Amino acid sequence: MLRVIGLMTLVLVFLSSCSEQRRTVVRNYPPNKPFVYSNKINLTGTNLTKDEKKRLSTELENYWDDSLQVQKIQQFGFFYKIRKPPVFDSTNIYRSVNFMNAYLNAQGYFYPQLQDSVFTDTLRDQIRTHVIMNIDVGKNVTIDSVSYDLTDSSLAQLTRANIQESLLKKGKPYTKQVISDDLERLTKLYRQNGYFKLTRDDLKAVVDTVDTKLLTLTLDPFKQAELIAENARKRKENPAWDISIQNRPITDSSKLTRFYIGNIFYYPDTRLYDIPDTLLKQKNFTEQVFRSGTMRYRKNLFRYRPMREHTYLTRGELYNENDFYKSINTLGQINAWQQVDAITKTRGKDSLDIHFFLVPAIRQSFSVDLEGSRNSADVVTGNTLGISTSLTYSNKNVWKQAIQSLANIRTGIEVNLLQQNDNPLLQTFQVSAGHTYIFPRIIQPFGNWRSLRSAENKRTLFAINGAYVDRRTYYQIRSLATSWGYEWRIPKPTGDNIWLYKPLNVELYGITRLPGLELLIKNNPFLKASFNEGNIVSQTLSFIKTINSLKRPNTSHYIRVGIEEAGGLFGLLPGLKNNIYRYMKLEAEYRKLSRFRKTELAYRAFAGVGYNYSNSAQIGRTLPFFKQFIAGGPYSMRAWGLRQLGLGSSIFSDTVNSTYRDRFGDMQLEFNFEYRFPIVNFGSFKISSAAFADIGNIWNVKKNNDDPESRFAIKNLARDLAIGVGTGLRFDFSYFLIRFDLAYRVKDPAREYNNGWMSFRNFVWSETRSSGLKVNNLALQFGIGLPF
């Protein structure tokens, strides 16, 4: 086996050392004629930052003439293929120079120097032509001054009141894009303040590149020539231009009229093929007139309230384009309608009527699903891989209030595909049934929350679920859970903030200990507290934020924070004191994804801790095991089996007198890194791979005299962290992804030699612990979807 690994390593090193040219194959080329084999851009410039250089280089690649573009396809991570390369024609270089020069001008580089270089090499009947473009972009033109010269006094006053939001700043780089963006900003500002008819075409930017000294009259031609030469030198050394934002001559006076919201009409049963303008003329509608609007319908399918509550326009207020589109989007997020559209009609001098056309979705539906997934909750992290099937009934318009109802029956199994640690193939059987109501508004008795007025997609959630879980030979759990909660979304320019608050969450549990668990507790008395029977009365709060940078669109961030508090008040009641758990649990997760031309770099960091502050000996001093953290499996530490890592550097679970080695902890730290790259594409079917590293572990937060190594301590963190590395294959079928990951334990805290690190000198695939337990260092994981 070592020889095979050594041979594979030598092959990889050899392939990596070969130049890209040696690893490139050309197909369907013109024999004995020069063809374009490669193109390259070398970019230099004064005060050119690293990020700006990278941005310009990437964008300039798109400005090669089509006949100089090279379609190079990467295969198997190492090899490249070029199909039908174009015949080289030197005249196409000049077109590329013009394209690139125009692009640089648009970016504020008006004095670039472009120099092309061409050379060829011959391989049999291939005349490979390499084209290089050397570009010195020079200095970027900056903005010297900015003025807003608008003829209408109201527009001028509104502009001055929002001058701090201007994108044009003295000393900032000049680009056509930043001018266009500022004109768009002004257009939105005006249309948010009643100027309904004013458009982007009514504004213009005047750029002055002339030095005012040149306008000074002089009779001395030599003096004038000297001024011109000095101006040219200064313009090249420190180019700076003046910008004036003006409005074009306006012939239609209504463009400067501020419009107010008139009547608001709703058509809640619009058919998909209906033409809006035709509906306005029809008279066969039933009309219900309310103070805030009018509902016109053919069939009495909906009540008025859900439409009014999701409209941000009010009669008599100034027209605001943001609120207009926000109303369309928010109404469209209600599942009762599959499509929402709106049109505006002017009436009188300054009134604007709004007509909303809502196409109903299919009201009732059934679905049967076969799933391979991990179990996860809003606050609780889960990594269980299972196969399940479910039957779901959905009603999207309960009681004509656009309330959504979901009834679900699910049954599934958890399998140990590789039968690791001598566990049977079928580990867990579970069945559950639940019903959820989703109300399209916040229902609470204390009036409207002012802080949520700007929120979108506000919903109230009521759910009740029952479940039965049979962990073979160890335990059976029966549970009944119900919750009442609120969800809302606050839009931000770079991404949305999503909040979920459950003020009441009740979970009732019944546990039956089977012979395997009784024997395990007899041999390990400290485990008794983890399997005590208790109930949960808690409240939870979770926050999710996505960040998509406008400056770096290829980079995205994901942040999740969750907190759960149980038993704080109810645990004080004498009758409930020893029957409900009392704990605090906090989780935080951060993900970052950087996309490159063909590859991706993904990061994930997770931290979670729970603390049981109950002193009851009856329900124990740790979290209930179904609320504890686990590590290992296809979505966590992939070099370990499901629930097979931890706790800390303890070897207590690595005994041969029991086949039950599931580990649960009150604390978890985990860091994951993945480099993802494509292998081959077959239309919409893609095969890709990844190289990854996982670092982390789980611990207890309270001291356990029977197992002291399981407790978290900062001084032992380096010793306790586990490290696994590996690679895998991902088969992407567009609508779902199947993943196989192969990972090796580089550092195992339970390894009793070399401080837990693997030995390159004495490399082994498996090892036997001092207890006699045989442990595999290599794990194959099967997963559905990406791990994070």
Q: Which fold has domain 142-254?
A: Ubiquitin-like (UB roll) (3.10.20)
Q: Which letter does DSSP use for residue 450 in this model?
A: G
E runs forming strands in 30-125: 34-44, 72-75, 79-83, 113-123
- Give the helix/strand (H/E) hosting 600: strand 600-612
Q: What is the pLDDT of residue 75?
A: 61
| Residue in this structure with the two tokens 């008006």, named with its chain if needed | 110
Q: What is the pLDDT of residue 69?
A: 85
Q: What is the pLDDT of residue 697?
A: 96
Count of Cβ atoms closer than 10 Å to residue 683 Cβ: 6
Residues 6+ apart with CB under 8 A from 423: 416, 659
398 token code pair: 């309960």
Q: pLDDT tens for residues 480-516?
A: 999 999 999 988 878 889 999 999 999 998 888 888 8
Residues 6+ apart with CB under 8 A from 166: 146, 182, 185
Q: CA nearest 255: which of 295, 199, 187, 337? A: 199
CA distance 199 to 254: 12
- What phi, psi does 449 have (nearest 5°)? -80, 115
- Number of alpha carbons in the 13 Å side-chain half-sphere of residue 45: 26
Q: pLDDT tens for residues 201-236?
A: 999 999 876 544 444 444 556 555 665 566 655 555
Q: Which letter does DSSP use for residue 421 in this model?
A: G
Q: What is the pLDDT of residue 448?
A: 65
Q: pLDDT tens for residues 408-422?
A: 999 988 765 544 445
Residues of the chain whose pLDDT is less than 50? Answer: 1-18, 211-218, 373-384, 418-421, 656
Q: CA nearest 678: which of 85, 69, 78? A: 78
CA distance 645 to 627: 17
Count of Cβ atoms closer than 10 Å to residue 655 Cβ: 15
For 274, 426, 733, the CA distances from 517, given in Å and listed in that order, are 65, 17, 42
Q: What is the pLDDT of residue 643?
A: 83
* Residue 36 contacts residue 88 (beta carbons within 8 Å): yes
* Residue 766 contacts residue 775 (beta carbons within 8 Å): yes
Q: What is the pLDDT of residue 273?
A: 92
Domain boundaries in the chain? 2-134, 142-254, 259-360
Q: What is the CATH number of domain 259-360?
A: 3.10.20.310
The number of angstroms, rounded, from the C-alpha of 230 to the middle of its chain's C-alpha atoms is 53
Q: What is the CA radius of gyration of the chain?
A: 34
Q: Decide yes or no: CATH 3.10.20.310 for domain 2-134.
A: yes
**Separation of first and last alpha carbons in the chain:** 32
Please tell me whether residue 497 adopts helix, strand or coil conformation.
strand
Q: What is the pLDDT of residue 450?
A: 67
Fold match between 2-134 and 259-360? yes
CA distance 364 to 516: 46
CA distance 292 to 448: 18
